[in-house]
Amino acid sequence: MIQIKWKHRLALIGCCLMLTACSEKPEPEVKTEAAVAKEDTKPTVVEEVAIPRAARTIEDTVSQPAGKLVEAHMEPDIEAARTVDWVYYHRFYEDTFQGIMEKELPTYFEENPDLSVDEIYDYLVYQLGSGQYSTFYDQLDAYEHGYVMPDLPEGEDEIKIAKKQKTNVVILMDASGSMKAEIGGESRMALAKQAIEDFTSQLSDDVNVALFAYGHKGAGTEADKKLSCSSIDELYPLAAYDQGSFHEAMESFQASGWTPLAGAMEKAHEYLSAYDKENFRNIVYIVSDGVETCDGDPVAAAKKLHDSDMEAKVNIIGFDVDDEGQNELKTVAEAGGGEYATVRNPSEFEGVLIKKWKPSTMQVLSQQGVKLHELVHQKEALIAIHDPLTNISAREKVRISDAIRHLRNKKLIDDEQVEAVMELASEMEELRTNHFTELKERKGEEAEQARDEIDAKVEAWKEKWYTELEEE
């Protein structure tokens, strides 16, 4: 019995030793939240962004992207606010942007204490530079004065024919529903009507004018197509211009339905059939914002008008027309022996009607080639492009200058660096401003030269033929 008990005891001791050995195996590590949080706070390696070299030439300035802070926090129209609206920029700059700038910039200089003058300037442009130079510079570089030489008869036979002929002007006004579309807050129809009234008011007393509207009845639905396509009405009969009557006629219709362009020209052909080319100069002006929608053949109708005994000249003014419409209307004008022009605002409209296709040689005799209001408009247009360029240039320099002073106050750059970076910023602003101003002046000189050439040619023509016209 005693022997058996010891055997049991030895077995029990062996099991205990085995359990102890098993319990001494390493357990997987369980990390506490604190330990995990500590690991998460270890610095991560972030690839540094290479700071590009700031522009030192005009070519590089024009392609300069917006500074990171400017792009993120400043609207383009605020940065380029006109000189007369300077308060909008300065209020935003002082109340909002300057605080952002002073908060964001120091970190980079704290982490990079040994920057050179060029590196300091490069970084400030990288953050504070304007990205709008190309917008306005491209406009200035491509600027055209818009002066147009009026059509002047050059030969004696042409003058005699012009003196013998009576001029008839027939205006075909598109009153389709698409003319309701707005440009700058006003409908195409309203703008076109105003431009036509301005044009007709300047016709000389020996010119007869007629007004037709087409597509002004019904709506742009299939149900009203037949009504609308047959709506081509004489609203002002062929006669000398009378302001009150013509205005009343213009106010008697509104944009409504479809576009019977071919039908309108067929009506003009019928209307002018009694006025032969030997005794009358017949001109048809079509004002439209789109193509034929009534299944007619406008090219054939225009060709018929021009090839007939009346030899009418069909000129088309496309008002805010898309590319497809422009191509079709240009083909129609060419078939009618006339010209096509696209306009997108009232001033362009007036320029095309009054300047390029003016029907009265007597009126050309009575005025200069370039009018005072055209001269003023040309100068204002140049200023409107040049002014934002010089503003964004000066404001970029101010931002950089203020940043430099703030960094000095924070003792992140020294006085020597401040002076050198200030000088570099001033040199760049002077380079930009001088170039922009020189380009503006060159464009102004080109406009002045063109104006002088036009005026001289008109004056020479007037002097050459005035006596003969007076004798008539």
Q: What are phi and psi of 73, to 5 degrees?
A: -125, -5
pLDDT value, residue 37: 37
**What average pLDDT does this structure show over 325-336?**
93
**What average pLDDT does this structure show over 101-118?**
96
- Of 23-27, 301-305, 317-321, the poorest mean pLDDT is in 23-27
pLDDT value, residue 469: 47
pLDDT tier at 468, thresholds 50, 70, 90: low
pLDDT value, residue 273: 92
pLDDT value, residue 154: 54
Q: Name residue, tokens 């300091």.
A: 120
Identify the DSSP state of 221.
S
Q: Report the alpha-carbon distance of residue 260 to residue 176 in Å, rounded.
A: 9
pLDDT tier at 459, thresholds 50, 70, 90: confident
- By C-alpha distance, which of 223, 295, 238 is closest to 270? 238
The structure tokens listed for 322 are: 């898309």
Kindly report the average pLDDT of the chain as a whole number: 82
pLDDT tier at 281, thresholds 50, 70, 90: confident
Q: Report the alpha-carbon distance of residue 73 to residue 100 in Å, rounded.
A: 9
Instruction: Give Cβ neighbours of residue 263 (< 8 Å, ≥ 6 apart).
Output: 214, 229, 230, 232, 294, 296, 301
Residue 314 has pLDDT above 60, yes or no: yes
Q: 388-423: per-residue pLDDT in tens?
A: 999 999 999 999 999 999 999 999 999 999 999 999
Instruction: Give Cβ neighbours of residue 106 (< 8 Å, ≥ 6 apart).
Output: 406, 407, 410, 412
pLDDT tier at 25, thresholds 50, 70, 90: very low
Q: Topology of 156-368 in CATH? A: Rossmann fold (3.40.50)
Instruction: Give Cβ neighbours of residue 236 (< 8 Å, ≥ 6 apart).
Output: 209, 210, 211, 245, 246, 249
pLDDT value, residue 7: 42
Q: 218: left (phi > 0), else alpha (psi -120 to 50), else beta? A: left
pLDDT value, residue 397: 97
Residue 165 has pLDDT above 90, yes or no: no
Instruction: Give Cβ neighbours of residue 470 (< 8 Å, ≥ 6 apart).
Output: none
Q: Report the alpha-carbon distance of residue 167 to residue 164 in Å, rounded.
A: 10
Q: Name residue, tokens 């991560």.
A: 44
pLDDT value, residue 401: 97
Q: Report the alpha-carbon distance of residue 400 to residue 62 in Å, rounded.
A: 18
pLDDT tier at 43, thresholds 50, 70, 90: very low
Q: Is 227 helix (H, G, I), strand (E, B) or coil?
A: helix
Q: 242-266: per-residue pLDDT in tens?
A: 999 999 999 999 998 899 999 999 9
Range among 41-45, 48-52, 428-432 rated most confident: 428-432
Identify the DSSP state of 433.
H
